[in-house]
A and B are shown apart, each in its own frame.
Chain A
Amino acid sequence: MGDLDGMGIGQGGLGGYLLGLLGDQAPSQGMGAALLAGAPTGGGNPQPPPANPDATMLKQQHVIYGETAGVYPQLQTHADKVGVYAPRNWDADSADQLKTAREWMAGVSLRNPSVSPGSANLANAVERMVWNNAGDAAQGAQNLQLPAGINHFYIRQDGVGVQGPGSKWTNPKLVKSFGPFINVGGGSTPKGSKTYIDFYHADD
């Protein structure tokens, strides 16, 4: 895995989030003031059409990238030594599943904005590829009918480390699990080939 580390690929935090993307939602208070906190949009309600579909889709692309830049499909048995970084090595069903999981993630981000966007270094071929995959999933999410109530997701390495939200979500219920995928690192989820993306409904 040392070679993979050396490529500098990780989840989230690869550069800053797109500055000014949501300029119309900028806080009106001074930076020194506290922000009054409200609740995000409820999980079970249909989403109104976004005011600016292009900006929404770009934001979703950043979210997908930030959350899953280090997650790859399973490999075919005859994968060459380039491994996960070559789409020709990807198992087609696993790649489809990962794309669907990313679309769901984009949908969740409209219901629960507590997500971690990231930006790619487009000069890096691998990051550019993952960024484009994130864009495909964001595009796919525009026609998504995300099942009602799903408002959280959690990424775990099966059998290693934390296996689910131990936090204070109210009555979290696992609705759907995608995987296994390969996590090459980053994002606090342990590396490995049994990475799952779990989608939850919680009452909060």
Chain B
Amino acid sequence: MRNLSAFTCVFFLGLAASMPTMACSNDEMAADVKQIGIAHGDDFDQKPIFACFLEHAPEAAGLLVKELHPVPAPTIRGDLTAKYPQTMHVIWALRSLYYMTGMIFAGDSPEALEKMKLDPERENMLLHDESGLKDHVNIFRIWESRGTLYIAPESVQTEVIGKWQAWYAKDGASFQYSAHEHPGMWFEGFRYLHPPT
């Protein structure tokens, strides 16, 4: 029996060690979803928050999608993001979804955007990605060499938010969530067409 007890003890210790430890609770995750981007603009460490979202992935994604709503669409300089808490909250909800899914939804009507006669720089950033084809509209983009954030007009935001809602309703529960680390994608909103190398 002593041998069996020792075996049992080792067995359960091993089992416990192999079980994933939850670094954050469901309540903490829900609180992070409500607060992300609000207090400090871009100036905070997102890593533990993203890790928490991934631990509770389907639920977190659903809550993040619920946070999406159209926001005033300014152009925001990199050092001024903290002055726009509600806008940055939505931007960070989108960034979190990009990070967890590796997907970026975009608007379908570049022609409509061009008719809006936006500031040329903003239009260029919202229409451009690696393809150079201008076949979609980014909901937001960072101009990397300037650190400036450009946000799409409300009609585009509404369209893209609708796509996230439809996606989550259909695939959100069964989606294989994982970390997509490249900040050019999740932070800047740049859609890379090439596979990782």
Interface of B: prevailing SS: loop
- CB of A36, distance to nearest CB on chain B (Å): 5
Question: Which of A10, A167, A170 has the most B CB atoms < 10 Å from its CB?
Answer: A167
Stretch at the interface among B5-13, B18-26, B53-61, B177-185: B177-185
Q: Are the C-beta atoms of A21 and B132 separated by less than 8 Å?
A: yes
Measured in the bound complex, the distance between the Cα atoms of B193 and A15 in whole Å is 23
Q: Are the C-beta atoms of A40 and B191 separated by less than 8 Å?
A: no
Measured in the bound complex, the distance between the Cα atoms of B184 and A113 in whole Å is 9
- B134 at the binding interface (Cβ < 8 Å): yes
Which chain A residues numbered 1 to 53 have a C-beta less than 8 Å away from chain B?
Answer: 10-23, 25-27, 31-32, 34-42
Interface of A: prevailing SS: loop
Stretch at the interface among A74-82, A88-96, A134-142, A151-159: A151-159
Q: Are the C-beta atoms of A26 and B103 separated by less than 8 Å?
A: no
Q: Are the C-beta atoms of A20 and B185 separated by less than 8 Å?
A: no
B41: nearest chain-A partner, CB-CB: A166
Contact A168/B187 with A31-B135, A115-B145 known, Cβ cut-off 8 Å: yes
Number of interface residues of A (CB under 8 A): 56
Contact of A42 among B136, B142, B197 (CB under 8 A): B197
Contact A162/B125 with A38-B192, A38-B196 known, Cβ cut-off 8 Å: no
Residue numbers of B with Cβ under 8 A of A are 42-43, 46, 75, 77-79, 98, 101-106, 108, 119-125, 127-128, 130-136, 142-148, 163, 167, 180-188, 190-197
Rank and list the top 5 A-B pairs by shortest CB-CB distance, nearest first: A13-B124, A13-B120, A34-B103, A168-B183, A188-B146
